[in-house]
Amino acid sequence: MAEFTPFMQGTKAQSIIDNLLDGKLNPTPNVNSAGNFRNPFFDLRTEQENAGTLDPSALYPNPQLDFSVPEEEVIDPCQEGFMLVDGICQPIETFGQSLYTGDDKDNDPVVDTRTEDQKAYDEMKKDTSLPFGANREIDKYSVGFDKDGNEIFEFKKRPPLGLIGIFDAITGGNARRQDRYNEAMSTILGQTQSDFYPNANPFAFGNQMGNQFTKFSNQNYLDRVQDEIVKGSNQGATMGDLLGSVGQGTAPINQGGQGTQTSDNSNYMMQDNGRRDDTAYEAAIAKNIARNLSNRDSTTGQKKSTASTGSGFSKSLGGFYKGR
């Protein structure tokens, strides 16, 4: 049986104590050139320093895994100036534009910066029950001109293109546009609706055949109404008679003097050379006479509270003596 010797009484324990006292067991620190401690047994930073891939002053080793994602080349299917929206290349300028261009310094899209006049104008543009809005709506559907120079308009349904087009079709977009188009035609024709001409009004600004609407040109309108008798207060005079008296008033001053004429400086009455377009001027007067004969208000399109008494135009004055 082997003899058992307690550790502290053996020679091995004494040897360890002697080595410790002599400093033979003091740890040897691993300090690099930058004065940073490294693990004396194994340190990845020491390996990377020796390989020249790590700065000695670095506290951490270089990562061993590359998590970066390589960039893929993006191919734009649209030409320059267009962007892909719902699978369709559409003009870039129609996106991201501000609805209003006021002086709002904060550029807050929620704040309506329009003036009250601008708000009223914008509402009139969209209201097809008003002559102004009706003409703007009809203008969207111009398809050309006939041989007499009359502009022709025709409603056509839009095919469902892309997601937006499909959504528009599902929600009845074509039906809404058809209703607005029909109301616009009715409003324009209703401007000349008159109790003096209950059946067919010879002074209508156009005619309708189904979905097609024809708006008479200035010259064609004058040709159509020239020989038509203006009923009411003009005692059988024709439209041509009234137009021929413009600016030729013969009534004495104490009877009213010369009548008020249509302003001739409107842009649509001016030619490229800056001179007045006489055809447009005469057509404007004829249309004002037609509106005065109407039982509809020329601005609102609503039925007048009092019946029309006539054209509001006097041959002897050579102009209008009431609203134009």
Average pLDDT, rounded, for the chain: 79
Residue 110 pLDDT grade (very low, low, confident, very high; cuts 50, 70, 90): low
pLDDT the model gives residue 259: 47
Greater pLDDT, 290 or 73: 290
pTM, to two decimals? 0.56
pLDDT higher than 70, residue 103: no
Mean pLDDT of 83-102: 65
pLDDT the model gives residue 299: 66
pLDDT the model gives residue 256: 46
pLDDT the model gives residue 301: 62
**DSSP conformation letters of 71-102:** PPPPPP-SPTTEEEETTEEEEGGGSS--S---
Do the beta carbons of residue 48 and residue 36 sit within 8 Å?
A: no
For residue 1, with 0-12 CB atoms within 10 Å meaning exposed, 13-18 middle and 19 or more buried, which class applies? exposed
Tokens representing residue 223 in the block: 């040709």
pLDDT the model gives residue 217: 92
Residue-range domain boundaries for the chain: 16-50, 116-320
In this prediction, what percent of the chain has a pLDDT beyond 70? 80
Place of tokens 């447009």: 280
Long-range CB contacts for residues 18-24, cutoff 8 Å, separation at least 24: none
Phi and psi (nearest 5°) for 155? Answer: -80, 135
